[in-house]
């Protein structure tokens, strides 16, 4: 007698099928995850490569700005791309006042793409927004050390950064002498109490050279105490834009950066408590940690920050106390 084939119970059969489906689904999930992970790696890698090519202040890319008022409501902005990357600037530009933070105007201006190491000049014409009387009001001298500044932005949103260039409407650019800050002198009382013994000790320990080969003193040193602060603890040395700046002695760069007042600056530690600072530069050629030899060009003259024209603001500080730099070169 031939027996019937044994059939598995229906529940066991269904359970087996479900287990097989689950295993197949798990394998498909693994494959899908690997594909997504690979795609994610490609996406992240591609984004990283793309981001590394974008001009970004966070990545150490920088630019040099020099703004000056040309009269008749026209502001000239000179831009230099100090990086190797392409610089794209937003067409949205702001004009603001420093002391109040007030936005004087916001306008659109076509900005050219600036290749690495290249320069560009843009002229903003306020007469398109302001009446002649309003422009004359802007040209009136501001109180104290207040000023206006142009604010531009790069990249709009991705790795965006704001850059500012200050100027004073009441101090128009002079074709013969770009520095026009002499009018500030009458507002200050100059008093020099530099400790000569300190200067002699500095001379004994260090070799010095002038930071500029050609210059004119546009504002002297003063340690006259005004409201508990130094009135002008530095020496302003007027020179043409682009003039090479040398370190006064060997040392190590401890700081570089941009300050709304000092503009682009570099600080060098010479040891034994002696520090020198160079402000309002156009370009900074060294970075933090660099060792500086006597003949190294560390920067060049500009008009960045709160500067009425092209000059180097030079400071010498010993043990936290500023001294008149002129004594070092006598």
Q: Is residue 4 part of a domain?
A: no
Question: Is there a single domain that holds both residue 154 and residue 27?
Answer: no
According to the model, what pLDDT value does residue 173 have?
46
**SS3 at position 213:** coil
Q: Is residue 1 part of a domain?
A: no
Question: Is there a single domain that holds both residue 150 and residue 78?
Answer: yes
The runs of H, that is alpha helices, within the chain are: 10-52, 132-138, 196-205
- Give the CATH number, domain containing residue 87: 2.60.40.2950
Half-sphere exposure of 68 (CA within 13 A, CB side): 23
Q: Is residue 169 part of a domain?
A: yes
Q: Cβ atoms within 10 A of the Cβ of 237, count?
A: 24
Question: Is there a single domain that holds both residue 193 and residue 251?
Answer: yes
Question: Is there a single domain that holds both residue 134 and residue 203?
Answer: no
Last residue of a domain, one of 155, 173, 191: 173
Q: Is residue 178 part of a domain?
A: no
Last residue of a domain, one of 173, 200, 222: 173
Question: Is there a single domain that holds both residue 242 and residue 298?
Answer: yes
Question: Is there a single domain that holds both residue 87 and residue 220?
Answer: no
Residues 127 and 121 sit within 8 Å (Cβ to Cβ): no
Q: Is residue 5 part of a domain?
A: no
Question: Is there a single domain that holds both residue 218 and residue 302?
Answer: yes
Global pTM value: 0.50
The residue to which tokens 């004073």 are assigned: 168
Question: Is there a single domain that holds both residue 35 and residue 148?
Answer: no
Question: Is there a single domain that holds both residue 316 and residue 211?
Answer: yes
Q: Is residue 126 part of a domain?
A: yes
Question: How many whole angstroms separate alpha carbon 87 and alpha carbon 165?
Answer: 17
According to the model, what pLDDT value does residue 315 have?
95
Return the DSSP state at 98: T
Q: Is residue 217 part of a domain?
A: yes
Q: Is residue 112 part of a domain?
A: yes
Going residue by residue through the chain, which has 330 residues, state the pLDDT in tens, using 9 for 90 and above: 433 444 445 555 565 556 555 655 555 555 454 444 544 444 444 434 445 677 876 666 777 777 878 888 888 888 888 888 888 888 888 888 877 878 888 888 888 888 888 888 888 888 888 898 998 888 888 776 677 888 888 865 556 677 777 777 876 544 333 433 444 444 556 788 889 999 999 989 899 899 999 888 878 888 876 666 667 889 999 888 889 999 999 999 999 998 878 889 999 999 999 999 999 998 999 999 999 998 899 999 988 887 767 899 999 999 999 999 999 887
Computed over its alpha carbons, how large is the radius of gyration of the chain?
Answer: 31
* Residue in 194, 178, 236 with CA at minimum distance from that of residue 211: 236
Query: Which residues neighbour 2 within 8 Å (Cβ) at sequence distance 6 or greater?
Result: none
- Give the CATH number, domain containing residue 318: 2.70.70.10
**Strands 74-81 vs 119-125: parallel, antiparallel or unpaired:** antiparallel
Question: Is there a single domain that holds both residue 220 and residue 256?
Answer: yes
What is the number of domains present in the chain?
A: 3
Token pair listed for 221:
């040193």
* Residue in 207, 201, 215, 218 with CA at minimum distance from that of residue 247: 207
**Strands 251-259 vs 291-292: parallel, antiparallel or unpaired:** antiparallel
According to the model, what pLDDT value does residue 66 have?
78
Let me know if 262 is exposed, middle or buried by CB neighbors in 10 A (0-12, 13-18, 19+): buried
Question: How many whole angstroms separate alpha carbon 31 and alpha carbon 239?
Answer: 68
The residue to which tokens 């500044």 are assigned: 149
Question: Is there a single domain that holds both residue 126 and residue 210?
Answer: no
What range defines the domain where residue 30 resides? 11-50
The beta strands (E) that lie in 184-250 are given as: 216-219, 222-226, 229-232, 235-238, 244-246
Last residue of a domain, one of 173, 192, 223: 173
According to the model, what pLDDT value does residue 11 have?
54
Question: Is there a single domain that holds both residue 194 and residue 303?
Answer: yes
Cα four-point dihedral sign 43, 44, 50, 55: positive
Question: How many whole angstroms separate alpha carbon 215 and alpha carbon 120?
Answer: 26
According to the model, what pLDDT value does residue 43 have?
42
């Amino acid at each position: 007698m031939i027996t019937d084939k044994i059939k598995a119970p229906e529940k066991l059969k269904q359970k087996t099928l479900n287990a097989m489906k689950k295993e197949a689904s798990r394998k498909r999930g693994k494959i899908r995850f690997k594909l997504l992970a690979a795609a994610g790696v490609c996406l992240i890698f591609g984004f990283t490569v793309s981001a590394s090519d974008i001009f970004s202040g966070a990545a150490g890319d920088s630019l040099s700005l020099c703004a000056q008022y040309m009269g008749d409501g026209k502001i000239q902005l000179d831009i230099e791309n100090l990086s190797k990357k392409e610089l794209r600037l937003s067409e949205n530009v702001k004009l603001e006042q420093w002391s109040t933070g007030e936005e004087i105007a916001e306008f659109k201006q076509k900005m050219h793409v600036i290749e690495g190491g290249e320069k560009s000049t843009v002229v903003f014409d306020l007469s398109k927004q302001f009446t002649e009387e309003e422009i004359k009001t802007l040209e009136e001298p501001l109180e104290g050390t207040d000023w206006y500044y142009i604010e531009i932005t790069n990249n709009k949103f991705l790795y965006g950064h704001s850059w500012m260039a200050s100027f004073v409407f009441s101090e128009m650019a002079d074709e013969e002498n770009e520095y026009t800050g002499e009018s500030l002198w009458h507002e200050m009382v100059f008093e020099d109490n530099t400790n000569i013994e300190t200067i002699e000790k500095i001379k004994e320990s260090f070799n010095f050279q002038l930071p500029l080969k050609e210059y004119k003193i546009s504002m002297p040193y003063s340690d006259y105490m005004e409201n508990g602060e130094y009135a002008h603890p530095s020496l302003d040395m007027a020179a043409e834009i682009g003039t090479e700046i040398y370190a006064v002695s060997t040392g190590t760069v401890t700081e570089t950066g941009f300050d709304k007042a000092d503009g682009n600056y570099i600080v060098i530690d010479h040891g034994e408590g002696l520090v020198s600072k160079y402000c309002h530069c156009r370009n900074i050629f060294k970075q933090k940690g660099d060792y500086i030899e006597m003949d190294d060009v560390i920067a060049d003259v500009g008009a960045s920050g709160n500067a009425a024209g092209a000059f180097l603001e030079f400071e010498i500080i010993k043990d936290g106390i500023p001294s008149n730099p002129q004594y070092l070169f006598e």
